[in-house]
């Protein structure tokens, strides 16, 4: 029987796999002590007594549309639903996905020793059309506002930390994204490309199995089919924010409503998002 970590009294961290709230530090101190004892008793981790590396792409590839393939155990259409996104009421065609993902099952005592295990969850992927470009314009504005709140020193030094709102670039095609603050049920990622808004929500998940389920599903179980290449989202973009803001000012990143602007193309320099950026 697979061991299920119980979080030393079910003290699962309430945030995503990359952040922990200030109010939960005392809980993590207790968790760290428990994990230290676990390391002595089990040989390192709560999963089969050893440190495990994340295994990507659990399940079989299921093509949801010409835009997206998901690695999962099952997928079914659940019809249409409405969600307010970016201040706009939108109609999404949704599919319910059952999938296993690699989740983090212990807060590491040392960052090069992280424990992983597979865990089941239910996800909902919805796609909404954006024929007018209104969604794209608001999404792009939210990204500009996000970076506009940062000081120039931060923008120039941005290298590693994942951004909450930004873009990926693959084969000359931009993929706008917004990631949630948590990995709790109901949290969702947003992606925009080719006049489509994609909403990916964690529908049901038992948090006692580990944390980071939604982020892992997005970065390890999804493949976007862009015009010139397939692309797998990662935890960070390789597009420098200062260059992105410059491209937007120059009209290199455009929305469907502005057909007079230059066509999207790969900006000068090798700043393309890559597939190899894994946790």
pLDDT tens string 55-101: 456 789 999 988 999 999 999 999 999 999 999 999 999 999 999 99
Q: What total of structural domains would you count in the chain? A: 2
Longest dimension (CA), the chain: 66
pLDDT at 112: 56
- Domain of residue 82 covers 56-249
Q: Quick one: 104 and 233 in the same domain?
A: yes
Q: Show the tokens assigned to 110.
A: 């040392």
Q: Quick one: 74 and 42 in the same domain?
A: no
Using DSSP, state whether 187 is helix, strand or coil. Answer: coil
Q: Show the tokens assigned to 11.
A: 């003290």
Q: Quick one: 191 and 211 in the same domain?
A: yes
Q: Quick one: 44 and 95 in the same domain?
A: no
Asked whether residue 7 is assigned to any structural domain, the reply reads no
Q: What is the DSSP string of 19-57?
A: ---GGGHHHHHHHHHHHHHHHHHHSS-SSTTS--PPPP-
Asked whether residue 269 is assigned to any structural domain, the reply reads no
* Residue segments in the chain with a per-residue pLDDT below the cut of 70: 1-57, 107-114, 160-161, 257-279
pLDDT at 154: 85
Q: Show the tokens assigned to 158.
A: 């941005």
Nearest to 62 by CA among 74, 50, 49: 74
pLDDT at 262: 37
Q: Quick one: 29 and 111 in the same domain?
A: no
Asked whether residue 274 is assigned to any structural domain, the reply reads no
Q: Quick one: 103 and 207 in the same domain?
A: yes
Asked whether residue 12 is assigned to any structural domain, the reply reads no
pLDDT at 257: 67
The DSSP code for 208 is G
Q: Quick one: 41 and 127 in the same domain?
A: no
Q: Quick one: 123 and 139 in the same domain?
A: yes
The DSSP code for 262 is P
Asked whether residue 3 is assigned to any structural domain, the reply reads no
Q: Quick one: 39 and 123 in the same domain?
A: no
Q: Quick one: 73 and 89 in the same domain?
A: yes
Q: Quick one: 36 and 118 in the same domain?
A: no
According to DSSP, the residues that pair with 201 across neighbouring strands are 124, 188
- Burial class of residue 186 in the structure, from the number of CB atoms within 10 Å of its CB (0-12 exposed, 13-18 middle, 19+ buried): exposed
Q: Quick one: 97 and 37 in the same domain?
A: no
CA angle 75, 76, 78 (to 5 degrees): 140
Asked whether residue 4 is assigned to any structural domain, the reply reads no
């Amino acid at each position: 029987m697979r061991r299920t970590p119980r979080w030393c009294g079910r003290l699962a961290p309430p945030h995503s796999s990359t952040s922990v709230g200030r109010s939960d530090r005392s809980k993590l101190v207790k968790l760290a002590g428990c994990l230290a004892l676990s390391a002595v008793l089990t040989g390192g981790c709560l999963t089969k007594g050893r440190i495990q590396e994340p295994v990507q792409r659990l399940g079989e590839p299921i093509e949801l549309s010409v835009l997206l393939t998901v690695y999962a155990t099952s997928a079914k259409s659940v019809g249409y639903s409405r969600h307010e996104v970016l201040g706009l009421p939108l109609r999404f065609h949704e599919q319910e996905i059952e999938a296993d993902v690699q989740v983090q099952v212990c807060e590491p005592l040392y960052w090069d020793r992280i424990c992983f295990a597979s865990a089941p969850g239910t996800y909902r992927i919805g796609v909404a059309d954006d024929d007018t470009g209104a969604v794209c314009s608001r999404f792009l504005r939210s990204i500009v506002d996000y970076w506009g709140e940062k000081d120039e020193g931060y923008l120039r030094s941005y290298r590693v930390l994942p951004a909450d709102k930004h873009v990926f670039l693959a084969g000359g095609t931009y993929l706008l994204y917004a990631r949630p603050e948590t990995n709790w049920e109901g949290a969702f990622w947003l992606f925009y490309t080719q006049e489509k808004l994609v909403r990916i929500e964690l529908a049901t998940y038992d948090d006692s199995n580990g944390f980071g389920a939604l982020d892992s599903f997005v970065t390890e179980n999804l493949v976007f089919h862009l015009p010139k290449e397939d692309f797998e989202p990662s935890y960070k973009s390789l597009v420098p924010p200062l260059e992105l803001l410059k491209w937007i000012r120059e009209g290199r990143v455009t929305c469907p409503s502005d057909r007079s602007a230059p066509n999207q193309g790969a900006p000068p320099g090798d700043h393309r998002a890559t597939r190899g950026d894994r946790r």
